[in-house]
Amino acid sequence: MSEGSRRTSGPGRLLVAVYAVFALSASARAGVQIATGFSDAPVAYLLSAFAALVYVVATVALARPGRTARRVALVAVTVELLGVLTVGTVTVFDPGDFPDDTVWSLYGRGYGFVPLVLPVLGLLWLRRTWRAAD
């Protein structure tokens, strides 16, 4: 469809916008962290960079039509959900492992828990639009 896939119309428009905000802010944050003080908390900063990459891939894949993009989006959003659950759980029980915040620390509490809700909405949206011809 010339107007783009069903994935980016209706609620999908909003979903991709929120993903883009996270892709942008996570990338900027990771970039600054790594550029200015990588040795302070290399694990947390690498994780920040990884989270940023996941958001960027998810945003682009959700926004693009086609089966390949759909599959990439599914993988990215699933990795995102696993990431926020893993890092969230680890930081709740042992904050010492991640001395500096990442987007996923404490299930994304620093970002109003949006990082926790977003992949769930992403998966629901992918399921809902899965059969659409694109």
Partner 1 sequence: MFAVVDYTVIVASLAYAAWALLAVVLGRPPREPYVIGAGVVEALIFVQVVVAIVVMAVDGAPSDLATFIGYLLMIVVILPLGLFWALAEKSRWGTAVLVVAALVIPVLVVRMQQIWDAGGT
Helices then strands (H, E): number in the chain? 4, 0
The interface with partner 1 within residues 59-118 (CB under 8 A) comprises none
Q: How far is the CB of 24 from partner 1 (least distance, A)?
A: 6
d(CA 22, CA 24): 5
CB of 11 to partner 1, least distance (A): 6
Locate 77 and state its tokens: 């959003």
The minimum distance between CB 71 and partner 1, in angstroms, equals 23
DSSP category for residue 113: T
Indicate the DSSP class of residue 127. H
Min dist CB 64 to partner 1, Å, is 14
Size of residue set near partner 1 by CB under 8 A: 21
Nearest residue (CB) to partner 1, 2 versus 96: 2
Map tokens 């069903």 to a residue: 6
Tell me the backbone φ, ψ of residue 37, rounded to 5 degrees. -160, 50
Give, as one character, the DSSP assignment of residue 103: T
* Residues present in the chain in total: 134
Residues 9-38 that bind partner 1 (CB under 8 A): 9-14, 16-18, 20-21, 24-25, 28-29, 31-32, 35-36
Q: Which residues bind partner 1 (CB under 8 A)?
A: 3-4, 9-14, 16-18, 20-21, 24-25, 28-29, 31-32, 35-36
